Amino acid sequence: MKKTALYPWHEQAGAKIIDFGGYLMPVQYSGIIAEHKAVREAAGLFDVSHMGNFYVRGVRAGEFLQYLTTNDLAKVSDGEAQYNLMLYTDGGVVDDLIVYRIDAETYFLIVNASNSPKDYAWIQKHIGAFEGVSIEDRTDELSLVALQGPMSGAILHKVFPDEDFSSLASFRFRKVFYNGTELLIARTGYTGEQGVEICLPNGSALEFWSALMEAGEEYGIQPIGLGARDTLRLEMGYSLYGHEIDSTVNPLEARLKWVVKMEKGPFIGKEACRQVELNPRYAVAGFSLDGRALPRQHFRLYNSDRQEIGTVCSGTLSPTLQEPIGTCSILREYSRPGTHVMVEIRGTMHQGVIRALPFVQR
């Protein structure tokens, strides 16, 4: 099992540790509901250093990544980032990722932890056709922390009093120095709250994490585990690989058509997307349930005639709404908000309704 550079801090803080993506990671500290509330109302600090980090370099690096991914990287300038997808030729999702353009010949990719080895192999498989382009895996050398919540800006200003991050727009990033170490700070996140994600060398991670925690003390900052990270993203309707998307799911049937630019040049999986675009059968939708029973992944959804119409992708008790919510992959004709559905939970049918996403407006 791998450990992040911040593992000693988590252990000392008494976090509950689990295996996630091959890493020993904190799932909770004080508790999922309290941590969730801290991010929505104040600020939370996440260790997401298990995510994969790759550099792609070369004169044709942009051309290569434009072919490898579905979004239009031609619209991305230096200092900008873009949410993206890599697809198999049949249209299934290899992974979702964020691509950062450092300059015309240098790109930084952050991919999902459990997919990192697979992603690296997939990129290596296709990179040879683009002469001079190389990939470098920096996963074991870099840490990634996320500072999220309405007080995140004030906390960041305390640590960097000479920097103005208020002008840093969504999906923009800049490089700054902390005690002589270069950091990449991006206006990105997975919670729906304002905040940043910060990439830095492992050797500086503990010192920087401690500085953020200290600066945030007066604002109510809390360390946040993977449990609250999941409830926060689910309230926003964000996709999680292995749940809303995977190798069997086409993004056009998973609320991700906006990431697939059919008008750009060739990309892997384009023809499969074109076929689905002509006749999409499924959609990913939100839903809520009456009562307190919790929907879980793979539970089945039914219509009023008790015909199976879909399956649950993710489910939880929403800490903000205090009701069971979830996402589902469902036949398109049942995906309209307000449609009544039933979810089978341990042999019992529970009444529910399709809901618009996100569940929580920020």
C-beta separation of 295 from 331 below 8 A: no
Q: Both 81 and 206 in a single domain?
A: no
241 within domain boundaries: no
Indicate the number of domains in the chain. 3
Q: Both 78 and 120 in a single domain?
A: yes
Q: Both 176 and 306 in a single domain?
A: no
Residue that finishes a domain, picked among 204, 234, 264:
234
pLDDT > 90? residue 42: yes
Put the strands of the sheet holding 16-20 in their side by side order.
2-3, 23-28, 16-20
Q: Both 151 and 30 in a single domain?
A: yes
Annotated binding site: 197
151 within domain boundaries: yes
CATH number of the domain residue 320 falls in: 2.40.30.110
3-class DSSP state of 244: coil
pLDDT > 90? residue 21: no
85-113 pLDDT per residue, tens: 999 999 999 999 999 999 999 999 999 99
C-beta separation of 268 from 109 below 8 A: no
When pLDDT is averaged across residues 304-320 and rounded to a whole number, the result is: 98
Q: Both 27 and 156 in a single domain?
A: yes
Identify the domain containing residue 331 by its residue range: 281-361
CATH number of the domain residue 41 falls in: 3.30.1360.120
108-128 pLDDT per residue, tens: 999 999 999 999 999 999 999
Q: Both 40 and 178 in a single domain?
A: yes
188: phi then psi, degrees, rounded to nearest 5: -135, 170
Q: Both 162 and 197 in a single domain?
A: yes
43 within domain boundaries: yes
Q: Both 203 and 327 in a single domain?
A: no
Q: Both 45 and 144 in a single domain?
A: yes
262 within domain boundaries: no
256 within domain boundaries: no
249 within domain boundaries: no
Residue that finishes a domain, picked among 98, 117, 137:
137
Annotated binding site for substrate: 197
Q: Both 147 and 189 in a single domain?
A: yes
263-298 pLDDT per residue, tens: 999 999 999 999 999 999 999 999 999 999 999 999
Residue that finishes a domain, picked among 115, 137, 159:
137
Q: Both 34 and 153 in a single domain?
A: yes
263 within domain boundaries: no
Q: What is the pTM of this model?
A: 0.97
248 within domain boundaries: no
Q: Mind giving me the DSSP string for 183-214?
A: EEEES--SSSSSEEEEEEEHHHHHHHHHHHHH
136-151 pLDDT per residue, tens: 999 999 999 999 999 9
67-82 pLDDT per residue, tens: 999 999 999 999 999 9
Q: Mind giving me the DSSP string for 72-110?
A: -GGGPPTTEEEEEEEE-TTS-EEEEEEEEEEETTEEEEE
pLDDT > 90? residue 362: no
Q: Both 110 and 146 in a single domain?
A: no
Mean pLDDT of the chain: 98
Amino acid 221: pLDDT:
98
Other C-beta atoms lying within 10 Å of the C-beta of residue 92: 16
